[in-house]
Amino acid sequence: MRVVLTGGGTGGHIYPALAIAQQCETEGLEAEFLYIGGKRGLENKIVPEEKIPFESIDITGFRRKLFSLENIKTINRFIQGVKTSKQLLKKFKPDVVIGTGGYVCGPVVYAAAKLKIPTIVHEQNAIPGLTNQFLSGYASTVAVSFQDSVNRFPRSKHVMFTGNPRATMVQNANRERGLASLGLPADAQIVLVVGGSRGARALVEAMVQIAPLLKQNNSSMHYVFVTGEIYYEEIRERIRDAVGSFPYYLHVLPYIPNMPEVLAATSLLVGRAGASSLAEVTSLGTPSILIPSPNVTNNHQEANAWALQKAGAAEVLLERELTGESLLARIDKVMSDEEVRQNMSKAATSLGTPQSAFLIVEEMKRLSGVLSR
């Protein structure tokens, strides 16, 4: 089987695609992959590190101001992107093309549909993005991460609820290795506050405010602040100025390379509400306080976060309400009550979709004519 993967811009669009490739390997499926990404996205770095052949096209998204020079340029890039994608597809001859979100999916999946190659579009968020809404009228199958999203694609030929493939990728993350990587004892309770790989200004500012207010509910509690590399030096210095010497239970890090393992060891996550992050916490049953970014298309992170709160798996704290004091109050509420955490963990687990990548690979087989096992 020959498979083209496409998706990019952020890790939330890239890691689900890589999870599908990993599932094929896990199943022993003989598959060759080509990844088509954008010239400007993180996929340029992440995908080659996974030893997957990579090609790129030049594509950008539309600006909010409809009539603008940049939008005219975007239309031209889309037309050229379709042309380049057709050339790449004709050369590679895939049996199926899978798009996992981001602007780059537009020309690639559209080109595949016009070449009558079977296509799957995966939507990670509760509210579909514009690219996937456009592609849903051309794709063979639309896969969604939230059950409530099934009815949001009226133009699609076939919509199926699969969950997010990232859930499959992290489900067996090892708690002990997560603790060991942080140098923490086996009985540690971790409150993990994550600003994201590129940082989130409002959240890292809250880290500075909260640092001098921290206390331990018990001797095993540890606070781990992940600032993002761009803010690390500044935030660490400001926290040092606020607290003097760091208490042994406060850890400030620029990033965590083994996030699934650390999440498996985490008692409470505080972070954004990106789709891949939520796939991880539901797969691992990690309770969370979610602070959705207000600076994303269609405000989809807020919709993602409310879906988890509705199920009892998370609490939502909107960015406009975020202060060190308001965040600490939420943290104390959860960490002071073991029953609350257990109930949140059970609710998160009930939303997990560990079979997600398997379901998508089965759909790949169906569309490409490979018999399911």
The 10s digit of each residue's pLDDT in 65-83 is 656 677 778 889 999 999 9
Domain containing residue 127: 2-166+354-368
151 annotated to bind ligand = no
DSSP state of 321: G
Question: Does residue 59 share a domain with residue 32?
Answer: yes
Taking alpha carbons only, the member of 102, 25, 24, 2 closest to residue 56 is: 102
DSSP state of 140: S
What residues are paired with 16 via a beta bridge?
A: none
- Cβ 275 vs Cβ 14: under 8 Å: no
Average pLDDT, the chain: 91
Question: Does residue 253 share a domain with residue 117?
Answer: no
Quick one: average pLDDT of 174-185?
95
Between vectors from CA 43 to CA 227 and to CA 236, what angle results, nearest 5°? 10
Question: Does residue 224 share a domain with residue 155?
Answer: no
DSSP state of 247: P
* Residue 60 pLDDT level (bands cut at 50, 70, 90): confident
Q: Following CA atoms 155, 156, 162, 164 in sequence, which dihedral angle do they give, to the nearest 10 degrees?
A: -70
312 annotated to bind ligand = no
* Percentage, residues of the chain above pLDDT 90: 74
197 annotated to bind ligand = yes
Alpha carbon 333 to chain centroid, angstroms: 27
Q: What's residue 12's pLDDT? A: 83
Question: Does residue 315 share a domain with residue 181?
Answer: yes
pTM: 0.83
Question: Does residue 347 share a domain with residue 246?
Answer: yes
Q: What's residue 11's pLDDT? A: 82
Of 176-180, 298-302, 350-354, the range with the lowest mean pLDDT is 298-302
pLDDT per residue as tens digits for the range 81-127:
999 999 999 999 999 999 998 899 999 999 999 999 999 999 988 88
By DSSP bridging, strand 32-38 and strand 2-6 are parallel
11 annotated to bind ligand = yes
Taking alpha carbons only, the member of 135, 134, 94, 144 closest to residue 118 is: 94
Number of domains in the chain: 2
State how far the Cα of 274 lies from the Cα of 270, in Å rounded to an integer: 12
137 annotated to bind ligand = no
Question: Does residue 156 share a domain with residue 11?
Answer: yes
* Residue 297 pLDDT level (bands cut at 50, 70, 90): confident
Residue 373 maps to a domain:
no
Residue 86 maps to a domain:
yes
Task: Return the amino acid letter for 292.
Answer: P
DSSP state of 313: S
12 annotated to bind ligand = yes
Of 177-191, 194-208, 253-267, 283-297, the range with the lowest mean pLDDT is 194-208
* Neighbouring C-beta atoms of residue 325, cutoff 10 Å: 11
285 annotated to bind ligand = no
